[in-house]
């Protein structure tokens, strides 16, 4: 089995490579241009082995890779994230998140890839009021980034119905864990605050702190990817929430970090951020029917993230 992990130099992508190396016998290929930074470059180098090969390349130059290697599964993590950045640069982020992904779908269609697993986002729902949120809830993206994820979900369905490429979309809820640096574009409040707690220095709090999130530990996200990617089922563009079916507000996260680190940093309070939603809380019954169960509790995940963060 040959699999491609796009964005393998990023937070979730690098964790996915490690997860596949530890939990499968797949032959793994990674691609990344390190446009989001080179924090994981040494990690990727250290992972390279007989079962893992890495290409430093843009997706736009990946066609020759597809011509050389017949992939069975493509796990697509590569993207230009950041809600605020997409608000400020909608054309650039659309090129990277929509046009490049459409091109990747075409490579998959032309070369007989068996399954395309797309990393979508809970941001496609917008600021909803029905909780826990089911996949059938109306999409209402509030930023170009969220809209771009929504558009690719539709393209995935289209490529399945028109061309027979089996696709599946995973809507992640607030992924965190080791490998997520504070400056990471996907950084949750957990990682954004971790350095401040370790050093007992001022942290930033947007809004009143009562906004809440359904947090997802990164290895649980990797497990969900492997479950759908290795499934014999044809999903034809189906979407699944990936989360832990719980919601925790930021002030509660503050208290957890305070208990784990023993520190109590000062808070720099700021106005709400443009494009942010007030609450996320996922219904994950649908992916549970495929055998998914989240394994890492929030408190344990924060502890593991803290233990990693102390080493970097």
Contact 250, 212 (CB under 8 A): yes
Q: Which is it for strands 73-76 and 115-121: parallel, antiparallel or unpaired?
A: parallel
Q: How many other C-beta atoms lie within 10 A of the C-beta of residue 49?
A: 9
Instruction: List residues with catalytic annotation.
Output: 145
Contact 233, 171 (CB under 8 A): no
Residue 190 and residue 298: Cα distance in Å, rounded? 10
């Amino acid at each position: 089995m040959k699999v491609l992990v796009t964005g393998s130099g990023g937070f979730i992508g690098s964790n996915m490579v490690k997860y596949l190396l530890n939990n499968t016998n797949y032959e793994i290929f990674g691609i990344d241009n390190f446009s989001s930074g080179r924090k994981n470059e040494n990690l990727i180098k250290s992972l390279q082995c007989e079962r893992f090969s890495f290409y430093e390349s843009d997706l736009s130059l990946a066609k020759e890779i597809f011509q050389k290697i017949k992939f069975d599964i493509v796990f697509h993590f590569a993207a230009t994230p950041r809600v605020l950045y997409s608000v400020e640069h909608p054309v650039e982020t659309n090129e990277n998140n929509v046009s490049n992904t459409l091109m990747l779908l075409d490579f998959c269609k032309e070369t007989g890839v068996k399954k395309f697993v797309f990393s979508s986002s809970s941001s496609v729902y917008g600021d909803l009021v029905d909780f826990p949120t089911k996949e059938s809830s109306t999409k209402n993206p509030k930023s170009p980034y969220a809209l771009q994820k929504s558009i690719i979900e539709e393209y995935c369905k289209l490529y399945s119905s028109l061309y027979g490429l089996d696709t599946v979309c995973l809507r992640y809820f607030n992924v965190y864990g080791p490998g997520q640096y504070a400056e990471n574009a996907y950084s949750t409040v957990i990682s954004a605050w971790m350095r401040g707690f370790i050093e007992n220095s001022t942290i930033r709090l947007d809004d009143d702190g009562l906004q809440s999130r359904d947090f997802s530990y990164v290895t649980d996200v990797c497990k969900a990817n492997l479950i759908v990617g290795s499934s014999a089922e044809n999903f034809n563009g189906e979407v699944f929430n990936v989360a832990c079916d719980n919601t925790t507000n930021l002030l509660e996260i503050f208290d957890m970090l305070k208990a784990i680190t023993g520190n109590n940093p000062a808070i720099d309070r700021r106005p709400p951020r443009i494009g942010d939603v007030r609450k996320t809380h996922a219904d994950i019954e649908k992916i549970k029917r495929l055998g998914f169960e989240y394994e890492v509790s929030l408190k344990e995940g924060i502890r593991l993230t803290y233990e990693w963060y102390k080493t970097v």
